[in-house]
Structure 1
């Protein structure tokens, strides 16, 4: 069995960006699911890696991003998902968790061959990250109830693309680490 990591994409967020109003209803349903995935992953000693946009704040680090999100009006989405002392954190500038980040090196160093992708946005960052994982010959699992979307139709299409074109396993979060 491949060594697995849970990748939490862009959930440390202030939600003060374009399309946030369209995204928030989906985030509301996803936060409890991701919280439970985090709990189960940690219970099973599965590495948790947060990969998060830096929102153009090139002088910031993950602690500052977390503090800013926790001080904002949507702190309730971030509080239950906070990284713990064992979590790893990678900053990204664009959609894919791999683009111009050290994630591929980190995964190699940790011997990780399977990624469980959760977070936001299904039809953007999750999709592009799944593609980049696929071309790196990594196994991809996407719990469809643990990814938030802006547009229902595009999210459904993205999940189908990940499954059909990239060989991703699209499942329910209940199927993971029960």
Structure 2
């Protein structure tokens, strides 16, 4: 059991949607620090690694389908370094928040998690809403600014500022998340 969970949000993306090009350009910048953070979490017993990904409206999709679709998508080089290993915890979500209509809160409670580290995409949407839902559930929130990607730079920066100010989120570099 650990008191920290690293949440990887919406990184299993085929990049075949209207904002894909703008988003992918920003994801390129976060892949390496995020992959390093994921690898560090995998090597430790005191951090729970959990992938939470949109099901893109396919309610028959298994986690392996999401991984395969992302790896077969338009930008597999953005997925390959962060793809979940066999046996990874993967849950699907249907809206912006990693908590909305998912078993995430139940899992975090069972694992006795107190702090969530939010990574992935999109800073001004899914990361922001997940941070709010974590905060109202009394989790400590940490967001590595170099392991979250935005579509709109201004909105991404505003979302980070809101998380820090309104949700007491700790905004840090990825290398500072798991000392």
Range of TM-score over shorter length: over 0.9
- Cα displacement string for residues 2-35 of structure 1 (whole angstroms, at most 9, x for unaligned residues): 7101000000000101211111111001111110
Which residue does the alignment assign to 2:15? 15
Runs of 4+, deviation exceeding 6 Å: none
User: Which residue matches 1:117?
Assistant: 118
Whole-angstrom distance in 2 between the partners of 1:36 and 1:29? 13
Q: Which aligned pairs between 1:61-76 and structure 2 lie closer than 5 A?
A: 61-76=62-77
* CA deviations over 1:29-74 (Å, ceiling 9, x no partner): 1111110000111122211000000001111111011111111221
Aligned positions, number: 177
Q: CA separation in 1, counterparts of 2:136 and 2:148?
A: 21
- Where does the alignment leave 5 or more consecutive residues of structure 1 unmatched? none
- Aligned partners of 1:36 and 1:51: how far apart in 2? 18
2:107 maps to what in 1?
106
Aligned partner of residue 91 in structure 1, secondary structure = strand
Q: Check conservation: 1:47, 1:87, Cα contact below 8 A.
A: no
Task: Please give the per-residue CA displacement for 1:142-174, whole angstroms capped at 9, x wherever unaligned.
Answer: 000000000111011000000000000001112
What is the TM-score when the length of structure 1 is the normalising length? 0.96
Asked if the contact 1:44–1:177 (Cα under 8 Å) also holds between the matched residues in 2, the reply is no
Tell me what 2:178 maps to: 177
SS of the residue corresponding to residue 98 of structure 2 reads coil
User: Runs of 5+ in structure 2 lacking a partner?
Assistant: none
CA RMSD in angstroms comes to 1.1
